[in-house]
């Protein structure tokens, strides 16, 4: 028989980092959209530089966001 548990309230710090992780993921999506896709469509600035920097920024942001959210949800 399952007990009816109330969800644990998170501290302000945990909620902050959870929201910060979500924000980081959103920023990674936006940087991918603007830098990578913008480079492919427009092509004004050095395409290789923008493409590589966009991929790196998106990857780092996505990994950081996922890690932050995972750590905050485990507690």
List pLDDT tens digits, range 29-63: 887 777 767 767 766 667 777 778 778 888 888 88
5 within some domain:
no
54 within some domain:
yes
**DSSP at 4:** -
**Do 64 and 22 contact (CB within 8 A), yes or no?**
no
56 within some domain:
yes
66 within some domain:
yes
7 within some domain:
no
pLDDT of residue 6: 54
What separation in angstroms does the CA of 66 have from each of 23, 49, 59, 69?
Answer: 11, 26, 11, 5
Task: Please give the Cα distance from 43 to 62 (Å, whole number).
Answer: 25
1 within some domain:
no
Domains: count for the chain = 1
Give me the domain span that covers residue 46.
12-74
4 within some domain:
no
The overall average pLDDT reported for the chain is 75
pTM here? 0.55
């Amino acid at each position: 028989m399952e007990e009816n548990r109330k969800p644990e309230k998170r501290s302000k710090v945990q909620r902050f980092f959870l929201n910060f992780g979500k924000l980081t993921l959103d920023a990674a999506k936006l940087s991918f959209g603007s830098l990578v896709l913008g480079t492919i469509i427009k092509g004004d600035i050095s395409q290789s530089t923008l493409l590589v920097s966009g991929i790196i920024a998106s990857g780092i942001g996505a990994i950081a966001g996922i890690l932050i959210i995972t750590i905050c949800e485990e507690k």
